[in-house]
């Protein structure tokens, strides 16, 4: 391993800052592709936990053909080192992925430390889901190399990565970040402006708020709002977005908008009149009563495993249909 310069096809050293769930996932993804990974954490006992979780995860990936052809868990695990020294971790890194808790002061402090230790060509990416990058990168020596690369959990089945530059991030940094994310098998999208919620959560919260209003207004039960997704329109969102739906549900999108545009606007105006709601009060009682009876708090872990297994099945179906190309990594 060498190279402090970077191109989308040459590999190098990647540093992951923080060894929680997301940090471990990034480590596995970069190592699978062939990067040398250094996973950093301040707490060395946490690194031992991470090592043990990654050992298990990579063996599982090996069993499930979730690795590059001709490789096995050991090949990949051999590329991951663990360190509690930030300077050592960052030495010669071509790409850094920060995964510390979602706190703007903490991010600011971590980026300041990283800024002092990296070379001028290192990309500094944050995994934050909700903090715009200009809030914690302004004034750094390497501010033009700073960017957000927000994954979805678990990133190896849900491959979306939201790439969010700040106003001072260079186009070259944006381009390289997108190239690296594609290279490791992810699906980067570009968030061109720093908006709260980026793209994913803006869409997710629009859905959540509308489901909330439907329950609050007594139109349907929380259970039925969930069924409307799982047995109705949600069936298609794993492989087809809303714009493509417009194209297929009429003779193309222009025809769709001419036929249904006025009615859609009218319905959305009604939603708007109801407004954004506080997520509390009697509607929360109704929602949580239903959810706690369906999935009691002490069964959450079990249900999360069920969810991840479903996501895996859909990801495997995508590979089968060549909508995802794991074996071309």
Query: What part of residues 215-244 is at the interface with its own copies (CB under 8 A)?
Result: 217-244
Q: Binders of its own copies among 258-277, rule CB under 8 A?
A: 260-261, 263-272, 275-277
Q: Does 104 bind its own copies (CB under 8 A)?
A: no
Kindly state the tokens that stand for 194: 């720093």
Q: In angstroms, what is the minimal distance from the CB of 216 to its own copies? A: 12
Of 53, 106, 117, 207, which one interacts with its own copies (CB under 8 A)? 207
Q: Does 329 bind its own copies (CB under 8 A)?
A: no
Q: In angstroms, what is the minimal distance from the CB of 118 to its own copies? A: 29
Of 9, 278, 282, 322, which one interacts with its own copies (CB under 8 A)? 278
Window of 11-19, 41-49, 137-145, 204-212 that interacts with its own copies by CB under 8 A: 204-212
Window of 5-13, 51-59, 71-79, 304-312 that interacts with its own copies by CB under 8 A: 304-312
Q: In angstroms, what is the minimal distance from the CB of 271 to its own copies? A: 6
* Strand pairing report for 93-98 and 80-83: unpaired
Q: Does 103 bind its own copies (CB under 8 A)?
A: no
For its own copies, the closer CB: 170 or 245: 245
Of 310, 322, 325, 327, which one interacts with its own copies (CB under 8 A)? 310
Window of 3-11, 74-82, 85-93, 150-158 that interacts with its own copies by CB under 8 A: 150-158
Q: Are 33 and 8 in contact (CB under 8 A)?
A: no
Q: Is the dihedral of CA 104, 84, 51, 324 positive or negative?
A: positive
Q: Does 214 bind its own copies (CB under 8 A)?
A: yes
Q: Does 284 bind its own copies (CB under 8 A)?
A: yes
Q: Does 160 bind its own copies (CB under 8 A)?
A: yes
Of 130, 172, 175, 327, which one interacts with its own copies (CB under 8 A)? 130
Of 117, 253, 319, 329, which one interacts with its own copies (CB under 8 A)? 253
Q: Give the per-residue SS3 of the chain.
A: CCCCCCCCCCCCEEEEECCCHHHHHHHHHHHHHCCEEEEECCCHHHHHHHHHHHHHHHHHHHHCCCCCCCCCHHHHHCCEEEECCHHHHHCCEEEEEECCCCCHHHHHHHHHHHHHHCCCCCEEEECCCCCCCHHHHCCCCCHHHEEEEEECCCCCCCCEEEEEECCCCCHHHHHHHHHHHHHCCCEEEECCCCCCCCCHHHHHHHHHHHHHHHHHCCCCCHHHHHHHHHHHHHHHCCCCCHHHHHHHCCCCHHHHHHHHHHHHHHHHHHHHHHCCCCCCCHHHHHHHHHHHHHCCHHHHHHHHHHHHHHHHHHHHHHHHCCCCCHHHC
Rounded Cα–Cα distance for residues 139 and 109 (Å): 13
Window of 11-19, 61-69, 84-92, 294-302 that interacts with its own copies by CB under 8 A: 294-302
Of 114, 148, 184, 315, which one interacts with its own copies (CB under 8 A)? 315
For its own copies, the closer CB: 117 or 238: 238
Q: Interior CA angle at 31 toward 26 and 35, to 5°?
A: 110
Q: In angstroms, what is the minimal distance from the CB of 232 to its own copies? A: 4
With CA atoms as reference, report the closest residue to 96 among 42, 27, 196. Answer: 27
Of 205, 216, 319, 329, which one interacts with its own copies (CB under 8 A)? 205
For its own copies, the closer CB: 59 or 291: 291
For its own copies, the closer CB: 2 or 264: 264
């Amino acid at each position: 391993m060498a190279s402090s310069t970077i191109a989308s096809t040459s590999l190098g050293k990647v540093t992951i800052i923080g060894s929680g769930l997301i940090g471990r996932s990034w480590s596995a993804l970069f190592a699978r592709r062939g990067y040398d990974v250094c996973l950093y954490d301040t707490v060395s006992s946490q690194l031992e936990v991470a090592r043990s979780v990654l050992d298990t995860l990579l063996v599982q990936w090996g069993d499930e053909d979730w690795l590059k052809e001709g490789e096995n868990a050991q090949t990949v695990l051999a590329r991951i080192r663990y360190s509690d020294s930030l300077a050592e971790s960052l030495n010669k890194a071509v790409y850094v992925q920060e995964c510390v808790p979602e706190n703007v002061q903490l991010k600011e402090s971590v980026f300041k430390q990283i800024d002092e230790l990296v070379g001028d060509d290192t990309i500094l990416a944050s995994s934050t889901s909700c903090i715009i990058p200009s809030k914690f990168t302004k004034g750094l020596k390497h501010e033009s190399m700073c960017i957000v690369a927000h994954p979805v959990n678990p990133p190896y089945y849900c491959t979306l990565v939201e790439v969010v530059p700040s106003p001072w991030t260079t186009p070259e940094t944006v381009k390289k970040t997108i190239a690296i994310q594609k290279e490791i098998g992810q699906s980067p999208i570009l968030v061109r402006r720093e908006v709260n919620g980026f793209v994913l959560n803006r869409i997710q919260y629009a859905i959540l708020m509308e489901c909330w209003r439907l329950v609050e207004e007594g139109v349907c039960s929380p259970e039925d709002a969930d069924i409307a997704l799982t047995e109705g329109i949600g069936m298609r969102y794993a492989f087809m977005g809303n714009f493509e739906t417009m194209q297929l549900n009429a003779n193309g999108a222009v025809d769709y908008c001419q036929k249904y545009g006025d009615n859609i606007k009218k319905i959305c105006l009604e939603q708007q009149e109801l407004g954004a709601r506080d997520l509390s009060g009697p509607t929360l009682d109704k929602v949580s009563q239903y959810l706690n009876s369906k999935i009691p708090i002490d069964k959450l872990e079990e249900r999360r495993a069920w969810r991840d297994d479903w996501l895996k099945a859909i990801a495997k179906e995508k590979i089968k249909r060549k909508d995802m190309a794991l074996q071309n990594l």
